[in-house]
Chains A and B, each alone.
Chain A
Amino acid sequence: MKFWRKELIFPVTMVAIVLGFLISLQMQTHKKSVTEANKINQERTANMKTVMANTQEENERLKKEHQDLIVSMDTLQERGSDPLDIELLNNLMIMDGTRAVQGLGIQIVVDDRIQEHKTVFPLTANELLEMINVLRFAGAEAISINGQRIVGATAIVNSGTAILVNQVPIRRAEGIPYEFNVIGDQETLVDYFTNLEAVTLKEKGGMAVSISKKTVQIPSYKGSYTFKYAKPPASLE
């Protein structure tokens, strides 16, 4: 113990005490904060799961109610109209998008998630507008993007990092971000979309695009048509 000089004993002891205190405090605080953070996270996740389960349950209930109401409305329509009016109404409801439809068409999936091996630019509202326009040009009879029916009054806008379609953010948080369902002539849709849109999305945007021919289901438009200012011709008022 030759190197222990008398004048060192006090500072070394003090440093050792402070070190011991701090190490002990650090371990306790870390353990406590980790435990508390985990607890908060667990509570938050549990709350989120509960809210999500309730919202999904509500969604199922509303969908069922929606289907039942459509059946009631159809029954009422059949009771009060002649067959020609019913046919006209069905046609109009397809045109304004308020009727769910199905038919031969194509499904397009666009993946713009970040990838390690290449640069990918996220899909923008403008690109979505262009894609819809090309599909309409190819004679699409009905279009939906991630469950939102595209109608004449559909606005597609950027809101922060989100894209809103019919005022609903549509990008999927998990899995393939965008899925288009389109009804129309399959050959024309594939041909036009491949040549006019898919190539650009792949080459310039770095996105993965795949198109498949299939029978697709397209939901109804759930937004509301409001005519607060617009009035029909005087003869019909």
Chain B
Amino acid sequence: MKWFKNSHYLTTLGAIFIGFLLIMLLKSPASGGQTEAASAVMLVQLELENQQLANDNERMQQELTKYYEGQSAYALAQEQLFKAQLSAGVLSVRAPGLRITLNDSKDPVTEPNDVAKYVIHEAYLREIINCLWSSGAEAVAVNRLRVTSNTEIFCSGAFIQINGSRQMPPYVIEAVGNTDEMQTALNFLYYWTELGSYSQRYGITREVEFKDEITIPAASLRQYRYIEPGKE
């Protein structure tokens, strides 16, 4: 008990214990928020879905109101048909837009390990088109083929299959809509920047032109085999 007789040890021990308690005092109880985070995500999803539904309901309500206010059922039906043709992409449209040209390099391959970087891959087309849609493009075509709900852009060896048709480079993507927004979005796209550096290093073509008027061609009406009307 020699140590206990020494006041230094005693005060040191006391100080450690006090320090420990002070730390405990400063600590706040942990909050269990994992389930709350999951609920918050679900809530956001549901609210956005509600917003979509409300917008769509409002659109239909407006069309019905026109009918109730005296517009003939025939005129309304024709208007509805026209809008559906536009949104399905079976009507050609014209507007200011961007024309993007991508082409394989014509330079001799000097860096064999990077041979894939001398050619245009289908992923570039997909990513650019996705970027154009996300920045408000109203209609898009690749090599004069309209991009619709069923358009595939699939690499099949030396060519890329688009709407069931074999396409060779150069690939010309045309998009109409707000050109400033589309150009800004492209500048933030990883692939776009990569293609810019490939054009300097490997000689591929990556060009963009602003056009006052571009005509996007119409798609063919698709016939469905397995689909039947369903319920929400």
Residue of B5, B14, B45, B224 near A94 (CB, 8 A) is: B224
Q: Which residues of B contact A34 (CB under 8 A)?
A: 29
Docked complex: A129-149 residues within 8 A CB-CB of B = 129-130, 133-134, 136-137, 140-142, 147
Check A51 against B133 for contact (C-beta < 8 Å): no
Does A212 make an interface contact (CB < 8 A)? no
Docked complex: B22-75 residues within 8 A CB-CB of A = 22, 24-25, 28-29, 31-32, 36-50, 52-57, 59-61, 63-64, 67, 72-75
Does B95 make an interface contact (CB < 8 A)? yes
Q: Which residues of A contact B37 (CB under 8 A)?
A: 173
Does B101 make an interface contact (CB < 8 A)? no
Docked complex: A210-233 residues within 8 A CB-CB of B = 217-220, 222-233
Check B95 against A231 for contact (C-beta < 8 Å): yes
Distance to closest chain B CB from A135 (angstroms): 9
- The CA-CA distance from A171 to B37 in the complex, in Å, is 13
Does B134 make an interface contact (CB < 8 A)? yes
Check B151 against A62 for contact (C-beta < 8 Å): no
- The SS class assigned to the B binding surface is helix
Check A174 against B38 for contact (C-beta < 8 Å): yes
Docked complex: B94-149 residues within 8 A CB-CB of A = 94-97, 123, 126-127, 130-131, 133-134, 136-140, 147-149
What is the chain B residue whose CB lies nearest that of A162? B41
What is the chain A residue whose CB lies nearest that of B35? A45
- The CA-CA distance from A90 to B227 in the complex, in Å, is 11
Residue of B10, B90, B96 near A15 (CB, 8 A) is: B10
Distance to closest chain B CB from A18 (angstroms): 6
- The CA-CA distance from A153 to B131 in the complex, in Å, is 10
Distance to closest chain A CB from B54 (angstroms): 6
Distance to closest chain B CB from A32 (angstroms): 10
Distance to closest chain A CB from B6 (angstroms): 9
Check B80 against A77 for contact (C-beta < 8 Å): yes
| Size bracket, chain B contacts | 35 or more
Check B230 against A141 for contact (C-beta < 8 Å): no
- The CA-CA distance from A222 to B45 in the complex, in Å, is 13
Distance to closest chain B CB from A103 (angstroms): 4
Distance to closest chain A CB from B76 (angstroms): 6
What is the chain A residue whose CB lies nearest that of B14? A15
Does A199 make an interface contact (CB < 8 A)? no
Check B43 against A100 for contact (C-beta < 8 Å): no
Check A95 against B56 for contact (C-beta < 8 Å): no
Docked complex: A178-237 residues within 8 A CB-CB of B = 183-185, 217-220, 222-233, 236
Does B200 make an interface contact (CB < 8 A)? no
Check A102 against B150 for contact (C-beta < 8 Å): no
What number of residue pairs across chains A and B have CB atoms under 8 A from each other?
299
Check B40 against A56 for contact (C-beta < 8 Å): no
Q: Which residues of B contact A129 (CB under 8 A)?
A: 126-127, 130
Check A173 against B95 for contact (C-beta < 8 Å): no
Q: Which residues of B contact A99 (CB under 8 A)?
A: 229
A73-B64, A157-B134 given; A3·B5 CB < 8 A: yes
Distance to closest chain B CB from A34 (angstroms): 5
Check B10 against A12 for contact (C-beta < 8 Å): yes
Q: Which residues of B contact A119 (CB under 8 A)?
A: none
Distance to closest chain A CB from B22 (angstroms): 7
What is the chain A residue whose CB lies nearest that of B54? A62
- The CA-CA distance from A131 to B16 in the complex, in Å, is 61
Check B43 against A231 for contact (C-beta < 8 Å): no
What is the chain A residue whose CB lies nearest that of B42? A173
Convert B144-182 into 0s and 1s, putting 1 for each residue whose CB lies closer than 8 angstroms to a CB of A. Answer: 000111111110000001000000000000001110000
Instruction: Name A's B-contacting residues (CB within 8 A).
Output: 3, 5, 7-8, 11-12, 15, 18-19, 22-23, 25-26, 29-30, 33-34, 37, 41, 44-45, 48, 51-52, 55-56, 58-59, 62-63, 65-67, 69-70, 72-73, 76-77, 79-81, 85, 88-105, 126, 129-130, 133-134, 136-137, 140-142, 147, 150-157, 166-171, 173-174, 183-185, 217-220, 222-233, 236
11 A-B Cβ contacts within 8 A?
A11-B7, A19-B18, A55-B50, A92-B88, A95-B90, A96-B84, A96-B88, A99-B229, A100-B232, A142-B149, A218-B230
